[in-house]
C-alpha cells in the first residue's frame, strides 16, 4: 500500500528546521527578540517523527527496524564529523570517539531520538491501542519526578541537554502517533469537511497558536529574569506542548489548501527543500556557525551562514542518498537500508 504524503507535515518539518536554525544563529542577531524557538522546533520534529513512524503493523524485528533508522541518522553525522575532524573544526581524540560518532552530545536531537526510538517501537508494537493511556502515564511520571527530585531552585527545564526534556520529546512522539491515528480513522484522506471548510476556523486555529506562542515567550522571559518563581517552571513546558499541538491542528486544518499549493513551485520548492534536508541542515549548521563566529559584521555572518548551511546541507543530502543507494545494491545489506 502506498503511503500518503501529507502536505502539512512537510510544512511543519520545514518550520521546525527554521526554528532550530534560527536559535543556533542567535549570536548573529543584534536584536534579542528574534532569537529563540529551538525547543519548539525540537518538539515539532519529535511530533512529526511520531506521526510518520506510525504503522498499522510494526515490523516483527526490532533489530531491523532500529538499525535501518540508526543508519539514516548516523551516516550524515559520521560524514560531517569526519570532515570537521580533518579540518580541525572539531577536536576528535580516541577518548571522544564515542561522543562524536555513537552518542553525539553536540547534536542532542540525534542522541535523544536514538534513545527514544527504543520505547517508541515497543509502545507501537504492543500498546498501540493504548496510546492515550501511555501518554497519561508519562505525564504522571513526569510530575512525580518533577515534584520529588527535580531541582527547582532555578529555571532550566527547557535545557535540551538534560534528561528531563526526554519526557516532553517522548510525549510529542506519542501525540504525533495519536494524530496519525486520527487521520487513519478519517480514511487516510482529508475529508470533504476540510476541503470545504471556510477560512474562519483556520484563522481561529492559527490565532490560538499565535496567542500560545506569545504566552510561551513571555513565560520564558519571566522565568529567566526571576519574575516568576522557578518552582512553577513546569508551566512553561505545558504551554509549549499546547503550542505544538495547536500548530498540528492549525496546519492539518488547511491540508487541502497546502496540497493545492503544490502547483505553485515558487512557494513549495523552498519549503520542500528545507523539509527534505532537515537532518542535514541540523548537522552542518553547528560547524558552519563555529567557523563564522569570528566575522565582525553580524548581518554578513547571518547571510553567509544561511547560504552556506543551505548549500552544504544539500551537498550532504545528495552524498548520503548516493551512499545509501549504492549500499542498498549489496544483497547482504538490502534489509538494513
What is residue 1's predicted lDDT score, i.e. its pLDDT?
A: 40
For the stretch 112-123, pLDDT in tens is 999 999 999 999
238 in any annotated domain: no
Confidence of residue 313 (pLDDT cuts 50, 70, 90): very high
Q: Output the pLDDT for position 129.
A: 83
- Please write the tens of the pLDDT for every residue from 52-85: 999 878 877 898 899 989 999 999 999 999 999 9
Whether the predicted pLDDT of 197 surpasses 70? no
In a domain, 189, yes or no: yes
Position 241 in a domain: no
Using pLDDT thresholds of 50, 70 and 90, give the confidence band for residue 328: low
Kindly provide the b/e burial profile for residues 260-295, where b requires at least 16 CB atoms within 10 angstroms of the residue's own CB. eeeeeeeebeebbbbbbbbbbbbbbbbbbbeebeee
Closest C-alpha to 90, from 107, 69, 65, 72: 107
Lowest mean pLDDT among 155-169, 219-233, 250-264, 296-310: 250-264
Q: What is the pLDDT of residue 259?
A: 76
Based on the structure, what is the number of domains in the chain? Answer: 1
Q: Predicted confidence band at 291 (pLDDT cuts at 50, 70, 90)?
A: confident
179 or 331: which carries more pLDDT confidence?
179
Mean pLDDT, residues 245-265: 80
Mean pLDDT of 199-222: 88
pLDDT of residue 256: 78
149 in a structural domain: yes
Confidence grade of residue 260 (pLDDT, cut at 50, 70, 90): confident
Q: What is the pLDDT of residue 192?
A: 43
- What's the rounded mean pLDDT across residues 172-181? 92
Distance CA 219, CA 240 (A): 10
The pLDDT-based confidence of 257 (bands split at 50, 70, 90) is confident
> Would you say residue 2 has pLDDT above 80?
no
Q: Are 151 and 140 in contact (CB under 8 A)?
A: no
- What's the rounded mean pLDDT across residues 135-161? 93
Give the residue among 327, 336, 319, 332 at the shortest CA–CA distance from 77. 319
Distance of CA 81 to the CA centre of its chain: 20
Which of 225-234, 254-263, 289-298 is predicted least confidently?
Answer: 254-263
- Asked whether residue 242 is assigned to any structural domain, the reply reads no
Question: Is residue 256 a part of any domain in this protein?
Answer: no
- Is residue 42 scored above 90 in pLDDT? yes
Q: What is the dihedral of CA 14, 16, 17, 18, to 10 degrees?
A: 90
Where b means 16+ CB within 10 Å and e means fewer, 69-101 reads bbbebbbbbebbbeebbeeebbebeeeeeeebe
Share of the chain above pLDDT 70, in %: 87
Residue 301 has pLDDT above 70, yes or no: yes
In a domain, 250, yes or no: no
Give the mean pLDDT of the chain. Answer: 85
Assess if residue 323 is contained within a domain.
yes
> What nine digits make up the cell of 116?
527514544
pLDDT over 70 at 190, yes or no: no
**Residue-number span of the structural domain to which 290 is assigned:** 7-199+261-336
What average pLDDT does range 253-268 have in this prediction?
74
Yes or no: say if 177 and 122 are a contact pair by the CB < 8 Å rule: no
Amino acid at each position: 500500500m502506498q503511503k500518503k504524503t501529507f502536505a502539512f507535515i512537510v510544512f511543519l518539518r520545514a518550520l521546525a528546521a527554521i526554528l532550530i536554525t534560527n536559535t543556533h544563529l542567535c549570536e548573529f542577531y543584534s536584536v534579542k527578540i528574534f532569537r529563540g524557538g529551538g525547543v519548539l522546533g525540537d518538539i515539532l520534529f519529535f511530533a512529526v517523527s511520531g506521526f510518520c513512524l506510525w504503522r498499522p503493523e510494526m515490523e516483527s524485528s526490532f533489530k531491523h527496524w532500529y538499525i535501518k533508522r540508526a543508519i539514516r541518522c548516523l551516516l550524515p553525522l559520521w560524514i560531517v564529523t569526519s570532515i570537521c575532524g580533518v579540518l580541525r573544526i572539531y577536536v576528535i581524540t580516541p577518548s571522544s570517539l564515542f561522543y562524536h560518532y555513537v552518542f553525539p552530545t553536540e547534536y542532542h536531537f540525534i542522541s535523544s531520538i536514538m534513545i527514544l526510538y527504543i520505547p517508541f517501537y515497543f509502545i507501537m508494537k504492543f500498546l498501540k491501542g493504548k496510546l492515550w493511556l501511555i501518554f497519561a502515564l508519562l505525564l504522571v511520571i513526569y510530575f512525580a519526578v518533577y515534584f520529588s527530585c527535580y531541582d527547582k531552585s532555578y529555571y532550566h527545564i527547557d535545557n535540551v541537554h538534560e534528561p528531563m526534556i526526554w519526557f516532553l520529546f517522548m510525549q510529542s512522539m506519542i501525540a504525533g502517533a495519536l494524530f496519525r491515528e486520527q487521520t487513519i480513522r478519517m480514511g487516510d484522506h482529508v475529508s470533504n469537511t476540510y476541503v470545504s471548510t471556510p477560512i474562519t476556523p483556520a484563522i481561529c486555529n492559527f490565532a490560538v497558536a499565535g496567542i500560545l506562542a506569545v504566552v510561551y515567550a513571555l513565560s520564558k522571559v519571566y522565568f529567566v529574569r526571576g519574575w516568576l518563581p522557578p518552582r512553577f517552571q513546569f508551566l512553561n513546558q505545558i504551554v509549549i506542548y499546547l503550542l505544538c499541538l495547536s500548530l498540528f491542528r492549525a496546519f492539518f486544518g488547511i491540508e487541502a489548501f497546502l496540497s493545492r499549493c503544490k502547483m505553485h513551485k515558487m512557494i513549495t520548492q523552498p519549503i520542500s527543500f528545507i523539509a527534505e534536508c532537515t537532518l542535514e541542515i541540523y548537522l552542518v549548521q553547528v560547524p558552519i556557525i563555529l567557523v563564522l563566529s569570528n566575522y565582525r559584521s553580524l548581518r554578513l555572518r547571518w547571510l553567509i551562514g544561511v547560504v552556506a548551511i543551505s548549500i552544504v546541507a544539500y551537498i550532504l543530502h545528495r552524498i548520503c542518498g548516493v551512499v545509501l543507494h549504492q549500499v542498498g545494491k549489496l544483497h547482504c545489506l538490502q534489509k538494513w537500508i
